[in-house]
Amino acid sequence: MLIDKRVSEFVEELGSNSPAPGGGSAAALVGSLGAALSLMVCNFTEGKPKFSSVQEEIVQIKEKGIVLKNRLLEYVDLDTDAFNEVMKAYKLPKETEAEKAHRSEKIQEATIQATLLPLKVAECCLEVLQLSIRVLTIGNPNTACDASVSGVTAYAGFQGAIFNVKINLGSIKDEEFLQSIRAKFTELQAEADKTYHLILDKAKEVIG
């Protein structure tokens, strides 16, 4: 599994001439790093008398952050798996009309799954963004830089995932599915952009 590799090994594989892992897996990994940094802020805030008024929310953020971090780590491999399924479908035989029809059906199925996976990554990264602005606001100010990096990292993961959603749409024939996906990522994009700018503004306020 990709997530079991050493960091240096993963980076080398990412930079190789292999088509996968690629941007989708990188986006999921980046999102998980953003979640981990929010968790770091929680750990420097939890149990500190100075921050007694926010303990309950910090514990809730930490619990949610753990779930998101682990889910995004799973998506690192699942994104590559989804891409490989698309490649497998394209390699199916296409000599007869029946084979062509079967191949086309499998390509559509695999491409839809390869679109839904990065959409899930984007949704998780948006949730991490929302955690980031909260820990930047209420967390230990000594970790304000880490909270800020959590936010910008989560946004990078989000945007990378959205790119991976969009790149597949030209290959999908199901118009109802396309309309649904476009509406969804437009909604997600607006919320992510808004939260990202809140993070930048807050970081400027507390860090300079």
Q: What is the pLDDT along the chain (208 residues), one digit of tens a residue?
A: 766 778 888 888 888 988 878 889 999 999 999 999 999 999 999 999 999 999 999 999 999 999 999 999 999 999 989 999 999 999 999 999 999 999 999 999 999 999 999 999 999 999 999 999 999 999 999 999 999 999 999 999 999 999 999 999 999 999 999 999 999 999 999 999 999 999 999 999 999 8
Query: Does 7 reside within a domain?
Result: no
Query: Does 90 reside within a domain?
Result: yes
Residue 149 near residue 55, CB atoms below 8 Å:
no
**Which residues constitute the domain of residue 69?**
23-207
CATH code, domain with 153:
1.20.120.680
